[in-house]
């Protein structure tokens, strides 16, 4: 590795409950022969990249990853594809967990040394205000409701990421017990699925929210998305899985009680839900208005 290679380190100092100290991260990167520019994503200047940037390091959680990817996907940042490395430090870290990327410093150092990349798929989203892509997933029903409820809560008393995940699971249980299923029409590669659903999720990764493994076979490198459909008739089985997850008895369901359809080209979603999540962002839209999702394979080079 040439000593002139430059790393742009983007850090969310408030993500999760891990203390990734600025000085330690810079020292770690520079000890492997790189120059390093640090920026907190809380600062306005974080989007200014040097032309000789060889690697972008994101130290943060799922929200931080989306924020950085939003900028990179404009392709106006740099005139070349620059690989991205992750140092997860959020609460759920759903994307990093799907990719098998840990928060251990030793594993991050191996990424710097091995310099191996995989090409990550991205979704192009159409007909939805203020959202044109997703990295993780898009959906309606239980998950947007959960995000709404958690945003309204005071979580200041929760000291760790584990405590926040437990609070989210408890909140989800309370929602799932009484949430009314909504009508939805989902066209997946020209095949129509229509019913009343508690949850509709179009996923590029295995898990969403408080580490709910809804699509165990999802792989962001395979050029496919997994569409998860949970009917009202499967409410009891879903609640039972969430209870097991809350108790630490399982990480993923032994038997998936919801329908999973693999999409290889495009998806259209029409729903009576007026609220969807795109990754971790909430967006309102007109009920019944079709949202389109197309797979864009191999858009991001991720160190792994």
Phi–psi pair at 141, nearest 5 degrees: 105, -125
| C-alpha 106, offset from chain centre | 23
Instruction: Give 57's strand partners.
Output: 9, 85
* Domain 124-297 -> CATH class: mainly beta
The DSSP symbol for 15 reads: S
| pLDDT at residue 107, rounded to an integer | 95
Confidence band of 18 (pLDDT split at 50, 70, 90)? very low
Average pLDDT of 75-99? 86
Torsion of CA 283, 59, 201, 171, to 10 degrees: -80
| pLDDT at residue 1, rounded to an integer | 43
Instruction: Confirm or reject CATH 3.20.20.70 for domain 6-115, answering yes or no.
Output: no
Instruction: Give 6's strand partners.
Output: 35, 53
Domain map of the chain by residue range? 6-115, 124-297
**138 touches 123 (CB < 8 A):** yes
Three-state DSSP state, 139: strand
**251 touches 185 (CB < 8 A):** no
CA distances from 58 to 9, 88, 296, 298 (A): 6, 8, 22, 19
Average pLDDT of 198-221? 97
Of residues 249 and 219, the one with the higher pLDDT is 219
Q: Token pair 């989902």 is at which residue? A: 186
Average pLDDT of 139-154? 96
**78 touches 29 (CB < 8 A):** no
Confidence band of 20 (pLDDT split at 50, 70, 90)? very low
Q: Is the pLDDT score of 241 beyond 80?
A: yes
Three-state DSSP state, 71: helix
| pLDDT at residue 157, rounded to an integer | 87
Average pLDDT, the chain: 92
Q: Which two tokens stand for residue 90?
A: 């959020």
pLDDT digits (tens, 9 = 90+) for 57-78: 999 999 999 999 988 887 654 4
| pLDDT at residue 2, rounded to an integer | 46
Phi–psi pair at 54, nearest 5 degrees: -105, -20
Three-state DSSP state, 102: coil
pLDDT digits (tens, 9 = 90+) for 158-177: 889 899 999 999 999 999 99
- Strands 6-11, 212-213: pairing kind: unpaired
**48 touches 71 (CB < 8 A):** no
Average pLDDT of 226-239? 97
Q: Is the pLDDT score of 100 beyond 70?
A: yes
Is the pTM higher than 0.75? The answer reads yes
Q: Tell me whether the CATH fold assigned to 6-115 matches the one assigned to 124-297.
A: no
| pLDDT at residue 130, rounded to an integer | 86
pLDDT digits (tens, 9 = 90+) for 266-301: 999 999 999 999 999 999 999 999 999 999 999 999
Concatenate the DSSP letters of all residues of 244-290 into one string: HHHTTS-SS-SS--SEEEEESSEEEEEES-SEEEETTEEEE--TTPP
Confidence band of 131 (pLDDT split at 50, 70, 90)? very high
Average pLDDT of 36-49? 91
Confidence band of 111 (pLDDT split at 50, 70, 90)? very high
| pLDDT at residue 4, rounded to an integer | 64
End-to-end CA distance of the chain: give it in Å, rounded.
17
The DSSP symbol for 180 reads: P
């Amino acid at each position: 590795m040439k000593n002139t290679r430059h790393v742009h380190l983007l850090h969310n100092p408030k993500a999760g409950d891990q203390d990734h100290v600025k000085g330690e991260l810079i020292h770690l990167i520079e000890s492997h022969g790189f120059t390093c520019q640090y920026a907190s994503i809380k600062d306005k200047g974080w989007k200014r990249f040097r032309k000789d940037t060889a690697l972008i390091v994101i130290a943060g959680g799922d929200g931080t990853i989306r924020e950085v990817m939003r900028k990179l996907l404009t392709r106006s940042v740099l005139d070349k594809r620059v690989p991205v490395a992750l140092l997860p430090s959020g609460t759920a870290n759903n994307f990093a967990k799907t990719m098998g990327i840990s928060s251990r410093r030793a594993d991050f150092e191996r990424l710097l040394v091995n310099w191996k990349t995989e090409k990550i798929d991205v979704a192009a989203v159409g007909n939805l205000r203020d959202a044109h892509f997703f990295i993780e997933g898009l959906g309606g029903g239980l998950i947007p409701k959960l995000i709404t409820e958690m945003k309204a809560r005071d979580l200041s008393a929760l000291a760790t990421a584990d405590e926040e995940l437990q609070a989210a699971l408890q909140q989800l249980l309370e929602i799932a017990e009484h949430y009314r299923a909504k009508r939805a029409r989902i066209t997946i590669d020209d095949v129509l699925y229509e019913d009343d659903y508690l949850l509709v999720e179009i996923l590029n990764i295995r898990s969403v929210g408080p580490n709910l493994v809804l699509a165990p076979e999802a792989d962001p490198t395979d050029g496919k998305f997994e569409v998860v459909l949970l009917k009202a008739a499967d409410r009891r089985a879903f609640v039972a899985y969430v209870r097991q997850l809350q108790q630490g008895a399982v990480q993923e369901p032994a038997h998936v009680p919801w329908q999973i359809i693999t999409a290889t080209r495009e998806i259209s979603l029409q729903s009576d839900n007026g609220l969807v999540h795109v990754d971790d962002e909430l967006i309102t839209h007109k009920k019944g208005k079709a949202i389109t999702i197309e797979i864009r394979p191999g858009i991001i080079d991720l160190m792994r």
